[in-house]
C-alpha cells in the first residue's frame, strides 16, 4: 500500500487554489448556471464538480500523490468543499 504525501494542510491549500480558479469559470458561464434559481442538473453543477475534481487530481499528482489514496476524512473534506463551492456559485449568481 502506498503512502499518500497529501497532508490535510496541503489538501486545504489545493482546494483554496481550485476555488479561486473556479470563480473565473463560474463568471464565464454565469448565464448557463441556473434556471429559475435552481442549479441546472446537467449544466454548471456537473461542470463545476468535474472541473474541481480534475483540478484536484492534477494538483495532487503534481505533489507526488494520488487522489485515490486520500483518506476517508480527506475525501469527505473534498466533498464538502465541492458542495460549498456550488452553493457559493449560486449566491454569486444571485447577487
Domain region containing 63 = 8-94
pLDDT 10s digits, 2-51:
677 899 999 999 999 999 988 877 766 665 555 555 555 556 677 788 88
Is residue 89 included in any domain, yes or no? yes
What is the reported pTM?
Answer: 0.78
**Domain total in the chain:** 1
Is residue 41 included in any domain, yes or no? yes
Cell representation of residue 80: 464538502
Is residue 77 included in any domain, yes or no? yes
Is residue 67 included in any domain, yes or no? yes
pLDDT 10s digits, 67-90:
999 999 999 999 999 999 888 877
Is residue 2 included in any domain, yes or no? no
Report strand pairing: 38-39 vs 34-35: antiparallel
Q: Which residues pair with 52 in a beta bridge?
A: none
Element (H, E) at 38: strand 38-39
Q: Which residue would you say has higher pLDDT here, 60 or 93?
A: 60
Is residue 3 included in any domain, yes or no? no
Cell representation of residue 16: 483554496
Is residue 1 included in any domain, yes or no? no
Neighbouring C-alpha atoms within 13 Å toward the C-beta of 50: 7
Residues 6+ apart with CB under 8 A from 44: 26, 29, 32, 33, 34, 89
Separation between Cα atoms, residue 86 and residue 80, nearest integer Å? 10
Amino acid at each position: 500500500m502506498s503512502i499518500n504525501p497529501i497532508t490535510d494542510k496541503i489538501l486545504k491549500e489545493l482546494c483554496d487554489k481550485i476555488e479561486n480558479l473556479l470563480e473565473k469559470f463560474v463568471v464565464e458561464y454565469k448565464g448557463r448556471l441556473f434556471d429559475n434559481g435552481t442549479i441546472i442538473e446537467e449544466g454548471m453543477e456537473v461542470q463545476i464538480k468535474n472541473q474541481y475534481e480534475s483540478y484536484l487530481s492534477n494538483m495532487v499528482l503534481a505533489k507526488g500523490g494520488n487522489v485515490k489514496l486520500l483518506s476517508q476524512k480527506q475525501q469527505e473534506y473534498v466533498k464538502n468543499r465541492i458542495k460549498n463551492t456550488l452553493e457559493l456559485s449560486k449566491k454569486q449568481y444571485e447577487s
